[in-house]
Structure 1
């Protein structure tokens, strides 16, 4: 009897081992990549990508899959790397903001050199009050520095009745050379940082969407809406720097354009919440909607060129904006037409398919816009309104 029990125990142990191996085998098979025809209906989006899909995996396996190879790997990493790129640019931009504190004489060593030159080389100066009046006309936004410069001159100069146009002109030139590079009153940065925030939100939301959409139908629905909201945020906030810095001296047009693109962005997000919005047959409509948002920026850009046709900064920034539009437009066209995988289905499952290329164009376009933003900041810092 005891011997029989031992045999049964052995069989039970063998059964347990077999069950454990079976579970391991099932997990191994369960988390294998599958082909397009095996996907649930909500995951069937691109019939030209035939394999290497993750289907309804648990979250743990999904997060680990970021380091494995499947047809979403590059979609995740292209925008995740883009997110860290713009995070770095944001930190750099914060550190490079000019000091907004009022400058003092100790901040400008060249002032003392100018003073010594004036005392040594100029036997007499025109009336100091006249100098101040002339310089104030030339440098209205930096008058606090002009006061400091003039106050550092000896008192006897303020009572001189001599006039010398050459001396006055020379002094104004010297003051200009000191003031121009050293005294800049930085304008507000919020439109620039709003764009950087919109870009980071878009890139991170897109990366998470491509990583998590294979979990379940409900999570896929949520992540796709987050992705659409990110795209709308990127497009809307991309308008903020060019509109604000181009029309900061024309409040009516500034508020009009900013209000329009903000309302359009909110409306686009609301439309994207509709369940039908993410169906494959609406792919072209989705693309057209976001592309239309981008093209609406042509109006403010043309208006900017009319107002500042003689400003090199206006032409420079417009060149960046045209390049950005071309990059976004090319990416959207590739995304909508599913090129190149439609030409050779199954050949671009892992890398090189339309969504990979679309992501690269988006990051390139956003970086181009960042470069334009730097030009706007420098322009307005130096000139103001």
Structure 2
């Protein structure tokens, strides 16, 4: 019975036993793979959960927002300042003389229509197209500057056949046009930007008076050249005197002590006093001196001496 049962059991369980052995072998071989797969399957849900619940991207976004907020505020402030500046620059109004600061009170006879202090060269140059106390000064000197610049270039480009002594005469006329161009350019720039600030006003005021002296010096050159065309010695003497007086006027104009509106008349002394001693009524002396050898009577000019 026992042997029969064992056979029966062996016969009944033969196939399953072999299958079990095969299954155990396969499981043993596939064990590491299954474990790795299981780890992967176990790890993947955590990854997905971490990806779903990971706060790192949010922190980065918050950091980006925190960084961009000051930049946006800075740009907004710049745009606001630019807007306010443009509004102030385009809508300034003329003010009366009493409201002006001391460094802008140059002419107490003009009671209304003055520009306010404008610390911007752009605003100063835009004021050229507005009506105020300096509009006439700016445009008359600016148009004169353009005119004399054009005439000077035209004269220098003329052929030599139009001159008796081409080199000398071109130098003579060049000195005249150079003085006129410098004087007019300094003048219209001064009247344009003198309301910028006290420092700019004083600097261009010095250039303005220096330009006047240069114009007077340059205008005497052709006058003396043709008055003493045949007398080089007196011509040199008069030219030297003119140069000395002109340089002295420029030096006086550069002193800060005389750059204030208080000393406006003092600054005008070298221009209105020293030069007329040679120029003005006394400027006829070179002409009379030059005409004397020609036999022309000089009695009308005796009172000038």
TM-score category (smaller protein): 0.5 to 0.7
Give deviations 1:205-229, integer Å, cap 9, x for gaps: 0000000000001101100000010
1:39 correspondence with 2:100: yes
| C-alpha RMSD over aligned residues | 3.4
Residue number in structure 1 paired with 2:290? 307
1:285 correspondence with 2:278: no
Compare CA radii of gyration and give the structure with the larger one: 2
Residue number in structure 1 paired with 2:26? none
Residue number in structure 2 paired with 1:242? 223
Structure 2: how far apart are the matches of 1:197 and 1:289? 21
Q: How is 1:344-355 mapped onto 2 (pairs within 5 angstroms)?
A: none
Stretches (4+) displaced over 6 A: none
Residue number in structure 1 paired with 2:152? 90
Structure 2: how far apart are the matches of 1:256 and 1:25? 57
Residue number in structure 1 paired with 2:30? none
Structure 2: how far apart are the matches of 1:28 and 1:221? 23
Q: How is 1:1-385 mapped onto 2 (pairs within 5 angstroms)?
A: 20=80, 23=84, 27=88, 31-57=92-118, 58-99=120-161, 186=166, 188-189=168-169, 190-295=171-276, 296-297=278-279, 298-299=281-282, 301-309=284-292
Moved more, 87-96 or 291-300: 291-300
Give deviations 1:341-363, integer Å, cap 9, x for gaps: xxxxxxxxxxxxxxxxxxxxxxx
Unaligned residue ranges in structure 1 (runs of 5+): 1-15, 101-182, 319-385
TM-score (norm. length: structure 1): 0.50
8 A Cα contact 2:248 2:270, kept in partner: no
Change (3 A) 1:236 1:28: closer
Change (3 A) 1:307 1:72: closer
Structure 2: how far apart are the matches of 1:65 and 1:252? 50
Q: Once the 2 structures are TM-superposed, how far is the Cα of residue 28 of structure 1 from its aligned partner?
A: 6.1
- Give the aligned length: 218
Of Structure 1 and Structure 2, the greater helix share is in: 2
Moved more, 216-225 or 40-49: 40-49
8 A Cα contact 2:179 2:211, kept in partner: yes
Change (3 A) 1:249 1:37: same
Q: Once the 2 structures are TM-superposed, how far is the Cα of residue 53 of structure 1 from its aligned partner?
A: 1.9
Moved more, 185-194 or 239-248: 185-194
Structure 1: how far apart are the matches of 2:266 and 2:158? 41
Structure 1: how far apart are the matches of 2:154 and 2:95? 43
Residue number in structure 2 paired with 1:177? none
